[in-house]
Amino acid sequence: MSSARPASGRGPGAVAARLTGLAATAERPLSGALTEVVLDGGRVVVVKRADAPGAVRAEAAGLRWLAATGTVRVPTVHGHDGSWLVIDRVPPGRASADAAVRFGRDLAALHAAGAPAFGAPPPAGPQDAYIGLAPMRNIPGDDWPSWYAAHRVLPYLRRAVDDGTVRSAEAAVVERVCERLPELAGPAEPPARLHGDLWNGNVLWGADGHVRLIDPAAHGGHRETDLAMLALFGCPHVERILDGYQQVAPLADGWRDRVGPHQLFPLLVHAVLFGRGYAEQALAVARAALTR
């Protein structure tokens, strides 16, 4: 590990040692929240710190819920403790078309593993979870259009209006999409087991040729929401991912026309976190959805 330093008696190295039972021999900061730690024997883990209450518990529960399906690959969770989470480091590799197809097949199998309800949290996961740095409430529901509007679109729209990121008059176009979701949503589908925050930065292309997923906001939802988020933020080889996905679980007719409504959730989350540019994208997506 380049630029490594000896592990100190406090901080990420000590956390990694406590949660793995192995001595930490070196550590290297990756960002303000992430540190790579080398353990005795050479294993490398990532120690993550999250200050938001419940964020670490939600992330650990989400990773374990995804891993339990034996479908998509995720880093092993070694433990969590208050504000700290320790997972395996993923040796980076190259994004390839073959890996993308495999990932698409695995993602389809993950979604097919299902969830008890739309909005259902992972077992041992909190109701009050997070998507990135934004709070996300996992309130179960049986009907996707009404649940998605009430618990994934409108809460972030209201906060964006309160913050002044979206003007009150502009909010009406998103509200109209929510009213029309029963007709825009396509055929009814059972709740899928979602990663929930499936943007490109949470898709790690491993050195072994397999994708690993990190930082889930896992919950029961509509499978097209995960796919819409992959497309929104420019995941490499996204069309090959979709090819692999459709080999296992073909999407209902008209799914490309439904991408926009599914993108309203992540776009409004980003508007709340990062400002007006994402609000304008959300409004454009909403207007386009109403013309279909």
Please give the DSSP secondary-structure letter assigned to residue 69: T
The catalytic position among 106, 197, 215, 226 is 197
Nearest to 84 by CA among 133, 30, 14: 14
169: left (phi over 0), alpha (psi -120 to 50) or beta: alpha
Please give the DSSP secondary-structure letter assigned to residue 250: P
Which tokens is 277 given? 């540019």
| 197 assigned to active site | yes
Q: How far apart are CA 261 and CA 181, in angstroms?
A: 8
Q: How many CB atoms lie within 10 A of CB 123?
A: 10
Q: Are 198 and 226 in contact (CB under 8 A)?
A: yes
Length of the chain: 292
Q: How many CB atoms lie within 10 A of CB 31?
A: 7
Nearest to 126 by CA among 118, 138, 117, 134: 138
Burial class (CB in 10 A: 0-12, 13-18, 19+), 151: buried
Q: How many CB atoms lie within 10 A of CB 40?
A: 12
Q: Are 20 and 45 in contact (CB under 8 A)?
A: yes
Catalytic residue positions, numbered = 197
